[in-house]
Amino acid sequence: MTTPLRVPALVAGAMLATTLFVAAQTPPEAPPPYRPGLGDLMTMTVQPRHIKLALAGREKNWVYAAYELHQLDEDHVAAVAPSEDRRNDRDHHQAADVRSWLGDQG
């Protein structure tokens, strides 16, 4: 009586072992690439530029302030490019006003 049950048990065991072996050989899926959100971009790039721009203005280092404003413009474009909206026009005009003021200073 044990012999008839032995064959199906061996077949089931072989199928399970094959399944586990194949699953162990399959590489895991790569995680999706990290896409920073607007908050992340603000923290990583834009806010430090604001601080540097303020410090340059406090020290009246207009050359460095102009450089940081240019860098801030580039960071701003990168941060808001995925989510274009009407505020960009306002921000662009404000940056142009600051750039004009910096030109008058230096």
Q: Could you report the per-residue pLDDT of 55-102, keeping only the tens digit for each?
A: 999 999 999 999 999 898 887 777 666 555 545 555 666 667 777 777
- Structural domain count of the chain: 1
- Roughly what angle, to the nearest 10 degrees, separates helices 87-105 and 62-80? 170
Asked if residue 55 is part of any domain, the answer here is yes
Asked if residue 7 is part of any domain, the answer here is no
Instruction: Report d(CA 8, CA 54) in Å as an integer.
Output: 78
Is pTM beyond 0.95? Reply is: no
Tokens linked to 59: 């020290």
Asked if residue 23 is part of any domain, the answer here is no
Instruction: Report d(CA 106, CA 94) in Å as an integer.
Output: 19
Q: Which domain holds residue 84?
A: 38-105
Largest Cα separation within the chain, whole Å, is 101
Instruction: Report d(CA 48, CA 40) in Å as an integer.
Output: 12
